Amino acid sequence: MKSISANLNVMIKAAEKASKTLIRDFGEIEKLQVSMKGPSDFVSNADLKAEKIIIEELKKARPGYSIISEEDGSEFNKDKKNTWIIDPIDGTTNFLHGIPHFAISIALKFENQIISGLIYDPIKDEMFYGEKDNGAFFNNQRIRVSKKKELNACLFATGGKSKKEIDLPIRKSGSAALDIAYVAAGRYDGYFQSDLNLWDVAAGIIILKEAGGIINDIDLSQNKNIQIRASSMAINEKMNEKLRNF
């Protein structure tokens, strides 16, 4: 494994610190499911608490960098070329219902490209990360996209509402970040979804590319209404043919 950059090291430490409170809060969800108030407010607070920890850690190491985050919005600082993009809980609905499938997502954008990305599933202790020209990794092991060439042998991930029936074997997991990470690791063969936010997918973009995957062009100046089509090179054309009217 190549050595990781100082920036990625900062991202890892921030994610690991925030994960401790998320794991603890997730453990409380089951009790809240049966309470009168319900867990919604609790989850909102867990989201904000995790985001606060991540931002504090990132700012401590890189005080001048700008920030785009799901809960806190945008903060343009002295260094406008470098921007952290943060989603403290990608898969909030899963978290809310006590389903252990959600992730912390942190990306670093330099000018108009994502150069580092990290997606961390704290419950399974699975960390996916990648850096421009430095490869993609899962828990320190190099990862590559699937080598399958026939669509009928593949499994695809998607989310949200579909306007039409898609003639592909699909799963909906409820976490866009983990869906892209799973494509990068070869667990899924492709992923497609519309109406996403930048913080849902920013980290996954670089992880997927560094794992040898291909993804449609994304305007990183837009924070919302993002469409993703991601897969290995081997099936990308065939997948897009099936998604022509998606």
**What are the catalytic residues?**
70, 87, 89-90, 92, 200
Cβ-contact 120, 126 below 8 angstroms: yes
How many whole angstroms separate alpha carbon 238 and alpha carbon 226?
Answer: 21
Beta strands 213-215; 135-138: pairing state: unpaired
Structure tokens at 183: 């494509």
Cβ-contact 96, 118 below 8 angstroms: no
Cβ-contact 98, 29 below 8 angstroms: yes
Burial of 8 (0-12, 13-18, 19+ CB in 10 A): buried
Helix (H, G, I), strand (E, B) or coil at 116: strand
Structure tokens at 174: 């409820």
125: left (phi over 0), alpha (psi -120 to 50) or beta: left
Phi, psi of 115 (to 5 degrees): -110, -20
How many whole angstroms separate alpha carbon 24 and alpha carbon 21?
Answer: 5
Q: Which residue has the tokens 């998606």?
A: 246
